[in-house]
Amino acid sequence: MFAHYSLGDAALTAVLGYAVVFFGLVLLLAVIYVMGKIMVKSVKKVEAVHEAHTEKPALPAPGSAGQLKLHDVDERDAAMVMAIVAHKLGKPLNELRFRSIREVKDDEV
């Protein structure tokens, strides 16, 4: 059946074959391009939502009030001090108001 494949037919098949390869890969290109655009857009959207959440100032916990000033005390130590005070007083932390916490040096005692 294929023994006498004329050069004209061969040329036509070659051109058609090359065109089919291009067609297939261009179609894939388009699909992957659109998929990429959608993915990049959705990632940006998620990032925007995330940023919007992180940019908002944190709302104070219910019942807490004002700003606490720390003098030579890091946040972790301040949190421990407040928790100990609340425990000793037998009151929940959000009912107490701390204005400032300052480290007392040995020579100040």
Partner 1 sequence: MNIGETLLRLARESGFAQFLAAGGWKNLIMIAVACVLLFLGIKKKFEPLLLVGIAFGCLLTNIPGSGLYHQELWDAYVAGEDITFTHIIHHGGLLDILYIGVKSGLYPSLIFLGVGAMTDFGPLIARPKTFLLGAAAQLGVFVAFFGGCALGFTGPQAASIGIIGGADGPTAIFLTSKLAPELLGPIAIAAYSYMALIPLIQPPIMRALTTKKEREIKMEQAREVSKTEKIIFPIVTAAFVILILPSTAPLVGCLMLGNLFRECGVTERLSDTVQNALMNIVTVFLGISVGATTVAERFLSLETIKIVVLGLVAFAISTVGGLLVGKLMCKLSGGKINPLIGSAGVSAVPMAARVSQVEGQKANPSNFLLMHAMGPNVAGVIGSAIAAGFLLAVFG
Give least dist CB 52 to partner 1, A.
Answer: 21
By three-state DSSP, how is residue 70 classified? strand
Alpha helix (H) ranges present in 5-74? Answer: 7-55
The CB-of-94 to partner 1 minimum distance in angstroms stands at 41
3-state helix, strand, coil in the chain (%, to 5): 65, 5, 30
Q: How far apart are CA 64 and CA 83, in angstroms?
A: 14
The binding track of 26-55 with respect to partner 1, each residue x by CB under 8 A or -, is: xxxx-xxx-xx--xx--x------------
Q: If we measure between CA atoms, which residue out of 71, 61, 54, 47 comes closest to residue 97?
A: 61
Closer residue to partner 1 (CB): 18 or 80: 18
Query: Any contact of residue 22 with partner 1 (CB under 8 A)?
Result: yes
Q: Which residues bind partner 1 (CB under 8 A)?
A: 2-3, 5, 7, 9-11, 13-18, 20-29, 31-33, 35-36, 39-40, 43
